[in-house]
Amino acid sequence: MKWDNIQEMPCSVARALSIVGDRWTLLILRDCFMGTKRFDKFQKQIGLTRHRLTDRLNKLVEHEILRKVPYQEKPLRYEYRLTRKGVDLYPVLMTLVKWGDKWMAGEDGPPIEYFHTQCNHTMSIELSCSECGETINPKEVIPKVGPGLRAYSERLKSQS
């Protein structure tokens, strides 16, 4: 199985990772959420090669997670901005932050803290249920076959 094929799996994790699941893309997006918009700044902050960066930014633009917006003419230059689809990846980054803060920060404590302007507290994120609002415990969530997987299975059947 080549990586390029995982997007065809009937699985939202696989499909999401087919775009953002490589070694650098989520770091690029982290920088986007911190306000970075320009090529050289990404390159310096992350330290990946310019070649790779070009490649990853193009892929993100292609998938409409970032879009290129001209910020000057002469010479024409673009900056990279998050789209709605890109901003929707915020929870993925924040869950990684929370895990990294808990398990990787060591004695120094979390590198970055997050201040919630709505309640004026330094906070961390929690996962809650869209229906009842309660905090999620993995054991209390049961995965079931959904319409997407059913459709996929039926297509497989009709092919054979």
Partner DNA sequence: TTATTAAGTTCCATTTTAGAACTATATTGA
Partner DNA sequence: TCAATATAGTTCTAAAATGGAACTTAATAA
Binding site for DNA (CB under 7 A): 1-4, 22-24, 38-41, 47-52, 54-55, 57, 71, 74-75, 77-79
Closest CB to DNA among residues 67, 98: 67
Footprint on residues 130-159 left by a copy of itself (CB under 8 A): 130-138, 140-149, 151-152
Residue whose C-alpha is closest to residue 33's, from 76, 108, 96, 100: 96
Residue closer to DNA (CB basis): 18 or 89: 18
- Residue 63 to residues 21, 121, 145, Cα–Cα distance (Å): 13, 35, 27
Q: How many residues bind a copy of itself (CB under 8 A)?
A: 89
| Chain position carrying tokens 């459709």 | 151
Nearest to 66 by CA among 37, 45, 44: 37
Q: Does 60 bind a copy of itself (CB under 8 A)?
A: no
CB of 66 to DNA, least distance (A): 11
Closest to DNA by CB, 26 vs 48, is 48
Binding partner of residue 69 among DNA, a copy of itself, none, CB under 5 to 8 Å per kind? Answer: none
Alpha-carbon gap, residue 15 to 24, rounded angstroms: 17
Question: Minimum distance from CB of 49 to a copy of itself (Å)?
Answer: 8
Phi/psi class of residue 109: alpha, beta or left (left: φ > 0; alpha: ψ in -120 to 50)? left
